[in-house]
Amino acid sequence: MKKIYFFILLLAGFACSQPKDQSQTKEDSGQTKQSPQLVVDSTLKELVKTAPVKGAILIYDYQQKRYYSNDFDWAKRGQLPASTFKIPNSLIALEVGTVKDDSTLLKWDGKKRYLKIWEKDMIFRQGFHLSCLPCYQELSRKAGEEQMQAWVDKLKYGKMVFDSTSYDRFWVVGDSRITPFEQIDFLIRFHEKKLPISARTDKIAKRMMVRKQTDQYVLRAKTGLSNPEGKLNGWFVGYVEKGDKLYFFASNFDPKPGTPDKEFLPLRIELTMKALKQKGIL
């Protein structure tokens, strides 16, 4: 278990409208006219193909109701949510009152933790951006299994599986799964204020999620890393507000055989950011 957590937790150190061009082809999705289009994007295919990873970058143009990806089959494949679950878990903590706001102090108990950067007191917002697993495990224990189950059901976040023995770690080990499509669906409902949370929780959580803000755009995002059966799997999910335009994304990757862990970890973010720039979003 320690080995599994070690790889999962390494991520904290690395995490501190578009016209369709002729190289893109629409996938035959069997969807109705009103359903979003699925566009296989050759630029995204080349970006992932030439990187030491396997996986999918999924981008949703909210205005055009159009998905872009290099691999829609991978985008429909479920994976452990890992630290991307800190988004709904933050909503739960705010709703049940285990934290008051993003400045709530999370005390370190003095015990050794997997990462040195976690061995200190930190505020809730820092815990989110440092992906402090023990911090969020403690918040889940304070909420209790019953409230965790009730809120996971209400938020409709993928397919989370846990019981009384795993409700404080089901997002990093076990049978819980979420797909890139489901990640984006959740983020859309979050943005549209369709989740059963208070306006106050919504405001605090969206403030916490800001990863980068410029004069042109606001990027809200979260990384995730799991190690099921000794195989790394990484996430980078979020959305970009650019003027009156909105774009959602969910990237999920495995490293190709022989790729060093330290090389793989930053690629989740780097490849996604390159994709967003190539699409003219950033």
Provide the annotated active-site residues: 83
DSSP codes joined into one string, the chain: -HHHHHHHHTHHHHH--PPPPTT-EE------TTSPEEEE-HHHHHHHHTTTEEEEEEEEETTTTEEEES-HHHHT--B--GGGGHHHHHHHHHHHTS-SSTT-EE---S---SSGGGSS-EEHHHHHHTT-HHHHHHHHHHH-HHHHHHHHHHHT-SB----TTTTTTTTTSSS-BB-HHHHHHHHHHHHTT-SSS-HHHHHHHHHHTEEEE-SS-EEEEEEEEE-GGG--EEEEEEEEEETTEEEEEEEEEEEPTT--HHHHTTHHHHHHHHHHHHTT--
Distance CA 91, CA 16 (A): 21
Residue with tokens 């489901």: 182
